[in-house]
Structure 1
């Protein structure tokens, strides 16, 4: 034991003489004396080799050594911190202004969504949401899609297999391809009058490019009541276009086809980049398509338990990305999901 006590005294003297003026030297002290692989830990490991009658005295000396090392380390830390405050030895000036934090900004899609909701809420539209994982019935069948419609194919829709039994699987569960499925669920639960917006993410199995993406955001509107006509649809979308893009914006309707509306029309607005004069964005036509629309098909109303002889309605749908691209003159759809700070800081 005498040998160990002599070693302890030597370590105490070495600790008292140790000097540190940098953080690197503090690490040297900690590693040599108080660390898990330091000399003090090694001495504690020798406790088992000390005779039983001497272990108490030896332990007291070790605890004394440990206290001295910890106190010395505390003093060294204070000395290094005091030195780092400045060569003058004076503390930092706490009255100086802090480094300003850079505040974030609202994503352009969120800004556009909020503006769309604001416009339609003022004319009586509420909001309705539902699940993004949908079944085939609400996404296709109830919307009057025939069984052989191309949209049901795997190359157009992200299907999810749903196991019905141990021996049978089915692909009738999918990621919704439009928010029209929310309209179906709303009409099943609520009887007319209905005037609501359906906003959310939708998914389509498409190649990602400057003009297309497999994930995007859609807003759809539905109005069902007695004596609702195509003129109501036109005036509603005229109002939206003027509020969103400006009073000089013109709107035109082109005949189209959708399984869930009849008659159907696509809506174009004046190209905001060339102001209708013609450019590569509008393909020199002066017009840009923003939405599809039409009168709700009687079959859709009947599928939801609504009397198509008594009630009529209109529906429209548009991509929030398309509206945002027009409003802020953005030419690449991929910018919305790449999280490029240089792009987001512009908003």
Structure 2
């Protein structure tokens, strides 16, 4: 009885070794027969009870060998049929024919707008400065003359990420005892502070980058957005210099007939301060809605750098004066490309992004 069982296993091994398959279906039939959940090798282990104890080990090794041979044969058959399938597929195609054209990508409207703004200011002598997005309290608020009780410091507007300096950050990272809390920068004015600390006047920079504020996301506002801020510090810089610079920007950005106006405003780091509007017009219902019926559209804040800010950053306010300005890039992009919902710029909808494939 035992010899018959051994012979059955040997016969199955020979059957496996001599098996052939030229199609994927045949290979699958082989797998089901010899390695599937109900394969022909599985019942052999039930014969173990009929094998004498001294031969049980030999029988078990023989059955395992049969399984191994089946697995190796399956892999060989799969490789052979895959190679043949590849050769057949290649024969069906003309490899000399032109390939399918690759779809071209496009720049994001925010990137397009940022590049355009940077280009305008670079042509009149401004250079690009950058800084960290995770900032300390001093550079984001205190250096920019923001009082400790100012609403902008409240949790409802600012994303604080750490109370005190995280491990590994040197204490010198926060200057002049202005606070060591870490936060996501709420404006790129922090880059201005870092530049004034490390560079002697004259300073003429723009600081583009991403900023964060704890705001409700809607069609006109988002918790993350982009800004470009500018700073010019030198001797005898005047408000008239700032107005001329911003008028040049507006006409380069929106057309050489663009008109601007400056309205008194308040910012902690500039004095006097102003909001700058451009004349958008009232030719359509959209114009009425976007300008609230006035025809004027606010695009940025600006002003003369407060002497206290210069003092905070180690610059002599008796010798130097300067102006600063800041604008939201999303607002400029929405105006340039008639985008009605700021959320579209952060959703990565290919249908929206494809509309800018022809914009340089």
TM-score range, shorter chain: 0.7 to 0.9
Q: Which moved more, 1:153-162 or 1:60-69?
A: 60-69
Match of 2:5 in 1: 3
Partners of 1:266 and 1:51 lie apart in 2 by 93
In structure 2, runs of 5+ residues without a counterpart are: 167-178
Could you tell me whether the CA contact under 8 Å between 1:273 and 1:329 is conserved in 2? no
Could you tell me whether the CA contact under 8 Å between 1:143 and 1:260 is conserved in 2? yes
Match of 2:94 in 1: 93
Match of 1:293 in 2: 302
- Report the number of matched residues: 336
Residues 64, 108 of structure 1: alpha-carbon distance in 2 compared, 3 angstrom cutoff: closer
Could you tell me whether the CA contact under 8 Å between 1:276 and 1:286 is conserved in 2? no
Match of 1:246 in 2: 255
Partners of 1:63 and 1:265 lie apart in 2 by 82
Q: Which moved more, 1:93-102 or 1:177-186?
A: 93-102
Give the alignment of 1:1-347 within 5 angstroms. Answer: 3-10=5-12, 12-13=14-15, 16=18, 21=23, 23-33=24-34, 71-78=76-83, 85=89, 90-163=91-164, 172-271=181-280, 274=283, 278-347=287-356
Partners of 1:277 and 1:207 lie apart in 2 by 24
Could you tell me whether the CA contact under 8 Å between 1:30 and 1:73 is conserved in 2? no
Q: 1:345 aligns to what SS in structure 2?
A: helix
Could you tell me whether the CA contact under 8 Å between 1:201 and 1:215 is conserved in 2? yes
Could you tell me whether the CA contact under 8 Å between 2:263 and 2:275 is conserved in 1? yes
Residues 138, 99 of structure 1: alpha-carbon distance in 2 compared, 3 angstrom cutoff: same
Deviation at 1:161, TM superposition (A): 3.0
Could you tell me whether the CA contact under 8 Å between 2:280 and 2:295 is conserved in 1? yes
Deviation at 1:75, TM superposition (A): 4.3
Partners of 1:66 and 1:148 lie apart in 2 by 75
Partners of 1:186 and 1:125 lie apart in 2 by 13
Cα-Cα RMSD: 3.6
Partners of 1:265 and 1:106 lie apart in 2 by 33
Partners of 1:79 and 1:194 lie apart in 2 by 70
Match of 2:169 in 1: none
CA deviation vs aligned residue, 1:271-316 (integer Å, no higher than 9, x gap): 2794899421111211211100000000100111111010000000
In structure 1, runs of 5+ residues without a counterpart are: none
Partners of 1:58 and 1:155 lie apart in 2 by 71
| TM-score of the pair, normalised by structure 2 | 0.80
Partners of 1:57 and 1:174 lie apart in 2 by 69
Residues 274, 16 of structure 1: alpha-carbon distance in 2 compared, 3 angstrom cutoff: farther
Residues 302, 59 of structure 1: alpha-carbon distance in 2 compared, 3 angstrom cutoff: closer
CA deviation vs aligned residue, 1:306-341 (integer Å, no higher than 9, x gap): 110100000000000001011101111111101111
Partners of 1:182 and 1:264 lie apart in 2 by 19
Q: 2:262 aligns to what SS in structure 1?
A: strand
CA deviation vs aligned residue, 1:232-276 (integer Å, no higher than 9, x gap): 111111111111112122211111111111111111113279489
CA deviation vs aligned residue, 1:135-184 (integer Å, no higher than 9, x gap): 2221111111122111111111112232579xxxx982211111111111
Residues 195, 56 of structure 1: alpha-carbon distance in 2 compared, 3 angstrom cutoff: same
Q: 2:290 aligns to what SS in structure 1?
A: coil
Residues 276, 187 of structure 1: alpha-carbon distance in 2 compared, 3 angstrom cutoff: farther
Q: 1:100 aligns to what SS in structure 2?
A: coil
Could you tell me whether the CA contact under 8 Å between 1:252 and 1:267 is conserved in 2? yes
Q: Which moved more, 1:118-127 or 1:152-161?
A: 152-161
